[in-house]
């Protein structure tokens, strides 16, 4: 039977709790603005009278808006000085950011000035010198990265899911929510822990994550993956850093490695994603029914109840959409977890909500997926709505899933019955979605295309029976496609890390269970574990997988871990179970390399964002924009830009309202991947490059 995972209510609602944290950057800027309009007196710097940007003294025109420093000096015989305070051939700030013009392109504008006799040629040379140095360094970094990639690839941990017993759903939901508030307000966490924290940092690690896209293909997620991580800036005075080597000493035990004889099936966490109403829950429910995970009796009950409520067509979806509100509204709101076995895999189905309001839940649930099924509604108008640039969740989900590190995707073109199993429609969808997925960084050979109808049971676990459908489609059915996915890589030999996505408490029995997926290491009864960020130690009482007791859980497994000897209040969703000697880092000041999505509003210093990392979410503020990166090369294109716009990648510093459990991406991908959201949209995806404090 499927289980429901409650990741708490929509984060956007919780976010209201942070009103007191609100920091109106715009307002503060406005307050300062009257005096800012004056040129600054700081030596070596002049302040632009138009945009207030502080420019280096040697700049003859504002680096941001192009306004001349001394508009009335003689800049050329044929320019009317009084009429030309602005350089109209200088790109506007909007042009600079939207066209991605970097310092080198502005050097071009300096050249124009040079012709007019007032350019500082030396500054131009310096600029190209420094860019040459950057190029050299980056090439070297890339080489080092390449050398290290082999060892790093094995850390491509993937998915995770939370289990939750139906009977404790309500209690758990409220727990999850109250727990989240506690995480956010627990400012003591990092300080009290810092002395004992150990981190798997390396003082010099240059690492390029580019397992998919080679060459110069320009894509949102490729850009992110092309980024070389430079960890040289780690603060050596940080207490956490001093213990960095302790992870090197970790030795796994034999029982922690998988035993082939014990279980021949591999666990595969499969996220079901896609635009609202595309049929994700119906497809999941139908699959579970066909594979015997939902009995005839249960199915009959769902059909009867759904009909009674005038929602007969949602009968299969009801197997996953269990809450009254979900059923009344006919939409999934939280991720549902269900299990089935294929020939090759123990599949953990993560049925995600498609509605845009519940993207935070989708992120929290599907963030650790090994692979995904992107469900597309083939019907006329619906496919197009899903692909809409600003509103369509087909695009947003595909981008998110790719940025979770998922490389393999099955595109299930559903509702083919509505378009009379038209080959033309399938081909058109395949062509358009194919282009988009390529732009997201999915490799063609890892994208599987399956036309089907969940409602009419066509091409799910057997070849189609519809004659017309069969006349043009002889490819694999959905279950075959699942079995043809490559098994995910796991971190068996690293210290335990299990992000907690849910907590089940039975106060009467004094029991507490943490649910989640092991990202690294292994667990068995009697093992001592540390619960972060509280730092409490406990012992594993028992383990459960898919409602059945199990003796060992290894990296990649989704389990419920019953703990003893621990205060249940200190076990919270968003926390992490770790090896007692190798606790995860806890921090609230981070350096993050981000890739900005298609956003209309730029990200500025002071921008307030929602920060999502594994199952934790926090309010965050951008405190620095350190550098803008060239989207093709990943090299620094501009230091200290004022703002970030769509499709730009950059290194920023963020300060969170409360501490979160986090690792640098190079140590653990699953704990180093972040998603930044604002106003109900994902505005940027990123990776943690440095834990500052
Ligand atoms: P959210 O979780 O809210 O995003 O929706 P969903 O993607 O899970 O869609 P759901 O399974 O709830 O189905 C939405 C509607 O599409 C229901 O009325 C289903 O009966 C209908 N539907 C799903 N699959 C098919 C199909 O193959 N053919 C037809 N004709 N209708 C389908
Ligand atoms: Mg659904």
Is 497 in contact with 520 (CB distance < 8 Å)? yes
For the cut 90, the answer to whether the pLDDT of residue 61 exceeds it is: no
DSSP state of 602: P
- 427-464 pLDDT, tens digit per residue, is 999 999 999 999 888 999 999 999 999 999 999 999 99
Ligand 1 proximity of 282 Cβ (cutoff 6 Å): yes
Output the DSSP codes for 226-244. Answer: TPEEE-TT--TT-HHHHTG
For the cut 90, the answer to whether the pLDDT of residue 254 exceeds it is: no
Q: Which residue has the tokens 């383990």?
A: 543
Among 313, 393, 413, say which to mutate for ligand 1: greatest number of ligand atoms within 8 Å of CB.
313
For the cut 50, the answer to whether the pLDDT of residue 78 exceeds it is: no
How many Å apart are CA 280 and CA 224, to the nearest integer? Answer: 28
- Give residue 418's pLDDT: 97
* Mean of the per-residue pLDDT values of the chain: 71
For the cut 60, the answer to whether the pLDDT of residue 231 exceeds it is: no
For the cut 50, the answer to whether the pLDDT of residue 394 exceeds it is: yes
Q: Which residues lie closer than 8 Å to 348 by C-beta, 6 or more apart?
A: 159, 161, 267, 268, 269, 270, 337, 338, 339, 558
For the cut 90, the answer to whether the pLDDT of residue 477 exceeds it is: yes
For the cut 60, the answer to whether the pLDDT of residue 584 exceeds it is: yes
For the cut 60, the answer to whether the pLDDT of residue 414 exceeds it is: yes
> Which ligand ends up closest to the CA of 393?
1
The arithmetic mean of pLDDT across residues 466-471, rounded, is 97
Instruction: Answer with the residue of higher pLDDT: 174 or 249.
Output: 249
Most confident option among 95-99, 203-207, 648-652: 648-652
Quote the Cα angle for 442-446-452, to 5°: 105
Is 372 in contact with 401 (CB distance < 8 Å)? yes
Rounded (to 5) percent helix, strand, coil in the chain? 30, 25, 40
Ligand 1 centroid, distance to 257 Cα (angstroms): 41
Burial grade of 170 (CB within 10 A; 0-12, 13-18, 19 or more): exposed
DSSP state of 88: T
For the cut 70, the answer to whether the pLDDT of residue 236 exceeds it is: no
- Give residue 582's pLDDT: 93
The arithmetic mean of pLDDT across residues 56-60, rounded, is 64
The arithmetic mean of pLDDT across residues 260-281, rounded, is 88
Q: What is the pTM of this model?
A: 0.65
Q: Tokens at residue 243, please? A: 């213990």
The arithmetic mean of pLDDT across residues 54-74, rounded, is 52
> Which ligand ends up closest to the CA of 336?
2
Ligand 1 centroid, distance to 279 Cα (angstroms): 3
User: Ligand 1 atom 13: the closest Cα is on which residue?
Assistant: 279
- 186-220 pLDDT, tens digit per residue, is 233 322 323 233 333 332 222 222 332 333 333 44
For the cut 50, the answer to whether the pLDDT of residue 118 exceeds it is: no
The arithmetic mean of pLDDT across residues 254-280, rounded, is 86
User: Ligand 1 atom 3: the closest Cα is on which residue?
Assistant: 331
Is 577 in contact with 500 (CB distance < 8 Å)? yes
- Give residue 5's pLDDT: 53
- Give residue 399's pLDDT: 87
- Give residue 4's pLDDT: 55
If DSSP codes are grouped into helix, strand and coil, which group holds residue 633? coil
Instruction: Answer with the residue of higher pLDDT: 37 or 595.
Output: 595
How many Å apart are CA 59 and CA 328, to the nearest integer? Answer: 62
Q: Tokens at residue 229, please? A: 């991580």
Output the DSSP codes for 274-314. Answer: ESTTSSHHHHHHHHHHHTTSS-HHHHHHHHHHHHHTT-GGG
Question: Beta strands 345-351 and 266-274: pairing type?
Answer: parallel
Q: Tokens at residue 182, please? A: 């506690």
Strand partners, 260: none
- Give residue 33's pLDDT: 34
User: Ligand 1 atom 18: the closest Cα is on which residue?
Assistant: 313
Most confident option among 111-120, 141-150, 189-198, 645-654: 645-654
For the cut 70, the answer to whether the pLDDT of residue 228 exceeds it is: no
Ligand 2 centroid, distance to 287 Cα (angstroms): 14
> Which ligand ends up closest to the CA of 417?
1
Ligand 1 proximity of 331 Cβ (cutoff 6 Å): yes
For the cut 80, the answer to whether the pLDDT of residue 84 exceeds it is: no
The arithmetic mean of pLDDT across residues 592-608, rounded, is 90
For the cut 90, the answer to whether the pLDDT of residue 291 exceeds it is: yes
> Which ligand ends up closest to the CA of 285?
1
How many Å apart are CA 618 and CA 117, to the nearest integer? Answer: 53
**Residue (of 367, 385, 388) closest to 377 by Cα position:** 385
Ligand 1 proximity of 355 Cβ (cutoff 6 Å): yes
Q: Which residues surround ligand 2, an ion (CB under 5 A)?
A: 280-281, 332
Ligand 1 proximity of 457 Cβ (cutoff 6 Å): no
Q: Which residue has the tokens 């039975």?
A: 506
Instruction: Answer with the residue of higher pLDDT: 107 or 432.
Output: 432
The arithmetic mean of pLDDT across residues 609-630, rounded, is 94
Ligand 1 centroid, distance to 316 Cα (angstroms): 9
- Counting from 1 in the atom list of ligand 1, the atom nearest the Cα of 330 is 12
Question: Beta strands 536-545 and 511-517: pairing type?
Answer: unpaired
How many Å apart are CA 212 and CA 442, to the nearest integer? Answer: 7
Ligand 1 centroid, distance to 282 Cα (angstroms): 5
For the cut 70, the answer to whether the pLDDT of residue 511 exceeds it is: yes
Ligand 1 proximity of 63 Cβ (cutoff 6 Å): no
Report the range of poorest mean pLDDT among 230-239, 400-409, 479-488.
230-239
Most confident option among 26-30, 59-63, 96-100, 156-160: 59-63
Is 197 in contact with 586 (CB distance < 8 Å)? yes
- Give residue 632's pLDDT: 74
Question: Beta strands 558-564 and 528-532: pairing type?
Answer: unpaired
Ligand 1 proximity of 273 Cβ (cutoff 6 Å): no
User: Ligand 1 atom 10: the closest Cα is on which residue?
Assistant: 279
Instruction: Answer with the residue of higher pLDDT: 309 or 140.
Output: 309
The arithmetic mean of pLDDT across residues 328-335, rounded, is 91
pLDDT tier at 507 (50, 70, 90 boundaries)?
confident
Instruction: Answer with the residue of higher pLDDT: 466 or 149.
Output: 466
If DSSP codes are grouped into helix, strand and coil, which group holds residue 518? coil
pLDDT tier at 160 (50, 70, 90 boundaries)?
very low
pLDDT tier at 173 (50, 70, 90 boundaries)?
very low
Ligand 1 proximity of 303 Cβ (cutoff 6 Å): no
For the cut 60, the answer to whether the pLDDT of residue 683 exceeds it is: yes
**Residue (of 673, 38, 19, 151) closest to 366 by Cα position:** 673
**Percent of the chain's residues with pLDDT above 90:** 46
How many Å apart are CA 689 and CA 659, to the nearest integer? Answer: 16
Cis peptide before 533 (omega within 30 of 0): yes
- Give residue 249's pLDDT: 80
Strand partners, 94: none
Other beta carbons within 10 Å of 206: 22
Output the DSSP codes for 121-190. Answer: HHHHHHHHHHHHHHHHHHHHHHHHHHHHHHHHHTT----------GGGHHHHHHHHHHHHHHHHH-THHH
The arithmetic mean of pLDDT across residues 170-177, rounded, is 31
For the cut 60, the answer to whether the pLDDT of residue 164 exceeds it is: no
- Give residue 177's pLDDT: 28
Q: Which residues lie closer than 8 Å to 559 by C-beta, 6 or more apart?
A: 163, 515, 516, 517, 518, 523, 543, 544, 545, 550, 553
Ligand 1 proximity of 280 Cβ (cutoff 6 Å): yes
**Residue (of 201, 203, 200, 207) closest to 225 by Cα position:** 207
Strand partners, 661: 586
The secondary element (H helix, E strand) that includes residue 104 is: helix 103-115
Quote the Cα angle for 197-542-546, to 5°: 105
Cα torsion through 146, 691, 515, 290, rounded to 10: -40
Report the range of poorest mean pLDDT among 15-19, 359-363, 390-394, 626-630.
15-19
**Residue (of 322, 310, 334) closest to 285 by Cα position:** 322
DSSP state of 255: G
Report the range of poorest mean pLDDT among 153-167, 416-430, 433-447, 526-540.
153-167
Ligand 1 proximity of 454 Cβ (cutoff 6 Å): yes
Q: Phi/psi of residue 432, each to 5°?
A: -70, -45
pLDDT tier at 607 (50, 70, 90 boundaries)?
very high
The secondary element (H helix, E strand) that includes residue 470 is: helix 467-472
The H helix count followed by the E strand count for the chain is 19, 29
Ligand 1 centroid, distance to 296 Cα (angstroms): 20
**Percent of the chain's residues with pLDDT above 70:** 64
The arithmetic mean of pLDDT across residues 668-683, rounded, is 89
Ligand 1 proximity of 666 Cβ (cutoff 6 Å): no
- Give residue 322's pLDDT: 85
Other beta carbons within 10 Å of 288: 24
- Give residue 45's pLDDT: 72
- Give residue 645's pLDDT: 92
């Amino acid at each position: 039977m499927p289980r429901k995972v409650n990741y708490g209510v929509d984060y956007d609602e919780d976010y209201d709790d942070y009103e007191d944290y609100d920091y109106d950057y715009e307002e503060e800027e406005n307050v300062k603005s009257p005096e800012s309009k004056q040129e600054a007196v700081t030596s070596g710097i002049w302040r632009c009278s138009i945009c207030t940007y502080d420019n280096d003294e040697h700049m003859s025109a504002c680096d941001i808006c192009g306004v001349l420093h001394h508009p009335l000096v003689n800049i050329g015989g044929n320019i009317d000085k009084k009429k030309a305070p602005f350089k109209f051939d200088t790109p506007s700030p909007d042009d600079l950011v939207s066209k991605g013009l970097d310092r080198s392109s502005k050097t071009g504008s300096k050249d124009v000035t040079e012709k007019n006799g007032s350019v500082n040629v030396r500054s131009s040379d310096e600029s190209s010198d420094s860019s040459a140095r950057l190029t050299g360094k980056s090439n070297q970094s890339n080489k080092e990265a390449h050398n290290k990639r082999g060892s790093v690839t094995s850390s491509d941990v993937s998915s995770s899911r939370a289990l939750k017993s139906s009977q404790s759903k309500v209690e758990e939901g409220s727990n999850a929510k109250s727990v989240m508030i506690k995480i956010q307000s627990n400012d003591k966490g990092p300080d009290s822990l810092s002395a004992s924290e150990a981190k798997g940092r390396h003082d010099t690690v240059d690492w390029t994550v580019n397992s998919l896209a080679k060459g110069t293909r320009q894509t949102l997620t490729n850009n992110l993956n092309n980024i070389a991580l430079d960890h040289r800036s780690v603060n050596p005075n940080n207490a956490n850093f001093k213990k960095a080597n302790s992870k090197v000493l970790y030795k796994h035990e034999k029982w922690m490695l998988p035993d082939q004889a014990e279980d021949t099936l591999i666990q595969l966490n499969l996220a079901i994603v896609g635009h609202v109403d595309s049929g994700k829950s119906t497809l999941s429910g139908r699959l579970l029914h066909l594979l015997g995970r939902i009995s005839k009796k249960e199915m009959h009950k769902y059909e009867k109840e759904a009909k009674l409520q005038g929602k007969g067509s949602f009968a299969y979806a009801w197997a996953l959409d269990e809450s009254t509100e979900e059923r009344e509204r006919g939409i999934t709101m939280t991720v549902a977890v269900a299990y089935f076995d294929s020939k090759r895999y123990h599949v953990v189905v993560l049925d995600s909500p498609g509605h845009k309001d519940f993207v935070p839940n989708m992120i929290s649930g599907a963030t650790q997926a090994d692979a995904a099924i992107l469900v597309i509604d083939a019907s006329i108008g619906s496919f197009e709505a899903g692909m809409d640039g600003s509103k369509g969740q087909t695009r947003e989900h595909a981008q998110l899933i790719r940025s979770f590190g998922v490389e393999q995707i099955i595109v299930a073109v559903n509702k083919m019955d509505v378009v009379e199993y038209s080959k033309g429609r399938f081909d058109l969808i395949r062509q358009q979605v194919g282009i988009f997925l390529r732009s997201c960084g999915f490799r063609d050979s890892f994208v599987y295309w399956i036309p089907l109808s969940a409602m009419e049971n066509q091409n799910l676990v057997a070849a189609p029976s519809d004659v017309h459908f069969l006349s043009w489609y002889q490819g694999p059915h959905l279950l075959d496609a699942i079995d043809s996915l490559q098994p995910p890589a796991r971190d068996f030999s690293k210290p335990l890390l299990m992000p907690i996505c849910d907590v089940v408490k039975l106060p009467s029995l004094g029991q507490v269970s943490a649910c989640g997926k092991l990202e690294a290491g292994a667990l068995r009864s009697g093992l001592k574990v540390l619960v972060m960020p509280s730092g409490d130690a406990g012992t594993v009482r028992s383990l459960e997988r898919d409602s059945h007791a199990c003796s060992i859980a290894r990296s990649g497994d989704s389990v419920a871990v019953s703990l003893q000897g621990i205060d249940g209040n200190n076990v919270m969703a968003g926390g992490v179970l770790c090896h007692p000697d190798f606790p995860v880092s806890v921090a609230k000041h981070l350096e993050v390399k981000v890739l900005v999505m298609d956003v209309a509003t730029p990200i500025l210093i002071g921008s307030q964002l929602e920060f999502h990392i594994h199952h934790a979410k926090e309010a965050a503020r951008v405190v620095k924009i350190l550098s803008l990166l060239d989207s093709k090369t990943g090299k620094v294109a501009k230091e200290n830009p004022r703002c970030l716009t769509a499709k730009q990648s950059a290194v920023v510093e963020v300060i969170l309202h409360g501490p979160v459990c986090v690792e640098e991406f190079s140590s653990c991908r699953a704990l180093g991947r972040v998603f930044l959201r604002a106003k109900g949209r994902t505005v940027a995806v990123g990776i943690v490059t440095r834990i500052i404090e």
